[in-house]
Structure 1
């Protein structure tokens, strides 16, 4: 197995800080020869380059990501990034505000679907939080 590039190492650190260790560990254990090159591309490009840049905070990147995923109708990725807001500092109110922008600029149906997913994910987070208290 080849050594990971510095950008991939940076990406892994950023990815873990945003998505959490358990999510990343599950994703890493699910990699196969078929998708390893794609996973490396994502690690270096998305996480090691864009998400690791100093220009925006993780909260700001999180909100941009949520808006783009909602606008594109990418519900599974959107749900994952709603869960990640626990690590990025974006609040439920921040998500709501981002989705109102989605409604205006990308369409009410996209925002409606995203609100449904966000409500479900946020209520799961509250249920888990309540169970821990």
Structure 2
């Protein structure tokens, strides 16, 4: 990723929080895919979303995860929704938490948005379960 000189402390904190929530593999992929065009965007979200908002002490990462998932579901942001559902393994938000958040979406943002989000959540959880099963059995890697 193209880098700007003298990154801020907020950026460093943001990168730490971002890696903690989304995982090193995701952040490494996003960082390596960045170029001169979108590198400023990567820096912006790292510094503001992760280094400012997610780093605040008032809500736990579990609580922020639940709120974020509900908002992404309400806005129809499918890829981001799936990414944040996968991140729940790092934030501590449970499937029950996410179900409750999506039920709230149905009432406050609309049944179609919630219905679609439930489909994405089910698919994402199935993929996560399959990945865990592959890791547990050792199949899939060089098999």
State the TM-score, normalized to the length of structure 1.
0.98
Please state how far the C-alpha of 1:105 moved relative to its aligned partner.
0.3
Mapped to 2, the partners of 1:70 and 1:51 lie a distance apart of 18
Deviations 1:68-118 (A, max 9, x none): 000000001001000000100011111101000000000000001100000
Mapped to 2, the partners of 1:132 and 1:126 lie a distance apart of 10
Question: Which one of the candidate residues 21, 41, 44 is aligned to 1:18?
Answer: 21
- Is 1:30–2:33 an aligned residue pair? yes
Mapped to 1, the partners of 2:132 and 2:78 lie a distance apart of 23
Quote the residue 1:66 is aligned against.
69
**Please, what is the CA RMSD of the aligned residues?**
0.7
The runs of 5 or more residues in structure 1 that have no matched partner are none
The runs of 5 or more residues in structure 2 that have no matched partner are 137-143
Mapped to 1, the partners of 2:70 and 2:129 lie a distance apart of 22
Paired residue secondary structure (1:62): helix
Mapped to 1, the partners of 2:37 and 2:76 lie a distance apart of 26
Quote the residue 2:81 is aligned against.
78
Quote the residue 1:47 is aligned against.
50
Paired residue secondary structure (2:30): helix
Structure of higher CA gyration radius = 2
State the TM-score, normalized to the length of structure 2.
0.91
Quote the residue 1:111 is aligned against.
114
Quote the residue 1:127 is aligned against.
130
Mapped to 2, the partners of 1:39 and 1:26 lie a distance apart of 12
